[in-house]
Amino acid sequence: MEGPHKNFSRYARDGENGPDIGLYLQALADEGTEWFEAQKSASKLALSEHVSKLSAALMYGVVMGLILATVLVLWFVGLALWLGQRLGDMALGFVAAGGLFALLGVLFYLVWRFFLREKVMLAIINSMHATN
What would the pLDDT profile of 87-117 be if each residue is shown by its tens digit? 999 999 999 999 999 999 999 999 989 988 8
Question: How many angstroms separate the CA atoms of 96 and 93, rounded?
Answer: 5
Predicted confidence band at 1 (pLDDT cuts at 50, 70, 90)? very low
| pTM check: above 0.75 | no
In a domain, 61, yes or no: yes
Question: In the chain, how many domains are there?
Answer: 1
Q: In terms of Cα–Cα distance, which of 23, 26, 25 is closest to 10? A: 23
Domain that holds residue 87: 6-129
The Cβ of residue 97 has, within 10 Å, a number of other Cβ atoms equal to: 20
In a domain, 1, yes or no: no
Question: How many angstroms separate the CA atoms of 126 and 108, rounded?
Answer: 24
